[in-house]
Structure 1
Amino acid sequence: MKILILSITFLFLVLFPSMAQEPRLSDELVFEERVFDFGEIKEEDGLVSHEFEFRNVSQKVLSINGVTSGCGCVQFEYPKEPLRPNATGKVKVTYNPAYRPGFFSKEVVVLSNNNANYNRIWVKGTVIPCQHPVSENYPYEYGSGLWMNFEVMAFGTIGKGGTKTMKLKYVNDTDHDMQLMFVVIGGNTDIKFTSPRMVKAREEGVMPVEYQYSGRFPAVTRVYPVINGRALVKPLVITCADPVD
């Protein structure tokens, strides 16, 4: 049994030598700087990049095997060809500030020497956010400045006596307050909710909508938003059905 274990261990080390020990900090690739601060950047300006310069200070040929980071917001470019002694190169780090307001600090790990060594560099800065179109989060426009995340709330199938709840999200995309209510057409009392009432200018909100299925009402119900006492033309459609239908 001991011979078998030793044989497997030896085979593993031969086939995967880079995993035989943890990578150690490289003293052969030397970076001129390890941290770069972008300062304040505007989200609307898009990607920002910086090149970190390094030198192979060893007496042997080295290669960068890869560059990694814990965030998909960071992209890399690095030399793919071997680096001779005293050769220089650059690792280009690009940061995407989209939908990432505020301060950021991202570590980047540069692997070299067949993944046996690593270097750590950082980019940081502060993103000044921009105003995004309301339709990005609320794709359905109902009129009078009201946008919502649903055009159809499909509750699917619910057995009689069963209950399901969904969240209706809304926003007042105007510079003035609005009184918002919802009116159910057809008297479907299976649909339960509490109207928002007052919605301030640019305010976002969430209204839980509960369907307590009794089987006594049609599968499709129209619910009309009412803003400042006036019903809008476009309805919110709510659907629900018994699994035997």
Structure 2
Amino acid sequence: MMTSFSQNTIEKLGYYVYVYSDPDTHKPFYVGKGKGNRVFDHLFYQDDSEKVAYIQRLIQGGKEPLIEILVHGVDEETALKVEAAAIDLIGIENLTNRQRGYHSAEYGKIEVSLLESRYNCEQIKLEDFNENAVLIRINQLYRNDMTVYELYETTRGFWRINPEQIKKVKYALAVYYGMVLEVYEIAAWFPAFSTMTQRYIPDTEQCRNRYEFVGNIAPESVRKKFRDKSVASLFPQGAQNPIRYIIADEGNAQETYAEDKM
């Protein structure tokens, strides 16, 4: 079994993206990126990961994984993006990778009309609001292949909010890198994980002072006003807090900020 490259090869490779596949079916089970002899490191790992277990099963059966270089001679940033694209194309559920690739939510697989909306959408300004709303930024949680239900579940919780401020709010806008993906009409807010959910429930201490809402898709007139449009200007540059309240007072909207981070 080959376990290293020659120095001459290493000098030519630069950064690369590699794929581990089953030798019989050629079905990929792991995608990674690196340089030097990084591609061979997995052959020597002894941890309890699914990837290591797969490789060990092959070796114990007298086989070895098929190792292929998908692309080479690129810089690290490019390798990271190619790795993410490969994982998205194959599907994380079909691999032993524990997480999606670098900036997969931002640069990964996406339907073309959504991509156009992201980069060429109408800008919503503060004065355009005459509804009380909460903007919920889900940059770190969103996936391009989310179902309607998954997007709702991701948006509705679990947040540190101002209980008094939120009482005034009628609509919740799911915001991904400035673009409004969906608008929900809020029925009520509850303590985190007190309503039915399929999401993972963390330690109860982490749930303290966090809340979730239940609701429905907003009326079409409200959705049409905000959906697929940008509210990026309402999040100050460098702002870490995912929550922004928009309180409209007789047509004059006021923007207020939550103090707690996600």
TM-score, normalised to structure 1, is 0.25
Q: Which has the higher helix share?
A: 2
TM-score, normalised to structure 2, is 0.24
Q: Tell which structure's C-alpha radius of gyration is larger.
A: 1
